[in-house]
Amino acid sequence: MTRTGTGTGTGTRARVRPGAAARPAARALVLAAAAALPLLAAAPAQATGYRYWSFWDGSSGSWTYQQQGPATYRPQDGGVDGWRFAVSPDGGSGAARPRAAAGFAAVCGGTAARAGRKRVAVVLDFGTPADAPAGERPPVRRTACAVVPEDASSAEVLAATVPPLRYDGSAILCAIAGYPRSGCGEAVGAGTADAAGAPAKGGGSGDGGGPSVGLAAGGAVVAAVAAGAVVRARRRRTP
């Protein structure tokens, strides 16, 4: 505290050192930021999923997301086509995989090879009740051994073994074995099930229960503002 002027009583006034008033405000900002960050980190992300049949190749013994559509892909004899209906991100390996093993022998082991024909194992996973459109229940998982011409596409494999199929006006496969009865790749909000039946990954990275990137970034801004206030207060205290 420094006195200025002369005399006593009304002639005396106090001058606060530069930065002294800023210190409580800076501390308050730091405490507010520290309290806010756990809440921001716990806020759920709002990932959008799509309800559709994803297409998988199991010829190697494990499921790999198909980079070709069923109308253009032509499996070899001994191939395994896998299909999974689920709420998943928009394509890519983040989609829900079939929950059955990708094994040709288990499906077609008892089917003899034939000249001019090929054998393709088909694995259908209709998903969980949480994946189903309103008013529908998924059929049980099933497999089939298709014996088709050597040049048949995966779409022709499906048509030969698990009809009826339903396509939309853009030739997108909407239903296999009549499921689902309606809808085709509609957006439905956060994903519901992955290959293990746990909450699905949305947007290819989040898990529906993790922190929102936007909220976390907002928390970082709050912390940065608080830190800046501390720095400014310290600079004011410097003579």
pLDDT in tens, the chain (239 residues): 433 333 333 333 334 344 444 455 555 544 544 454 444 344 445 567 999 999 999 999 999 999 999 999 999 999 999 999 999 987 677 899 999 999 999 999 999 999 999 999 999 999 999 999 999 999 999 999 999 999 999 999 999 999 999 999 999 999 999 999 999 999 987 544 443 333 333 333 222 322 222 223 333 333 333 444 434 444 444 45
In the chain, how many H helices and how many E strands?
4, 10
Rounded CA separation 92/52 (Å)? 12
Q: What is the pLDDT of residue 160?
A: 96
pLDDT value, residue 205: 29
Sign for the CA dihedral angle at 205, 210, 215, 218 comes to negative
Give the span between the Cα atoms of 176 and 195, in whole angstroms. Answer: 19
Task: Looking at 80-212, list the stretches that DSSP marks H as alpha helix, in order from N- to C-terminal side.
Answer: 104-108, 154-161
Type of residue found at 88:
S
* DSSP label at residue 43: S
Say what the pLDDT of residue 28 is. 52
Domain range summary for the chain, segments of one domain joined by +: 18-43+211-237, 49-189
The DSSP code sequence of 92-117 is STTSPPPSS---HHHHHTTS---TTE
Query: β-strands 117-125, 79-88: how paired?
Result: parallel
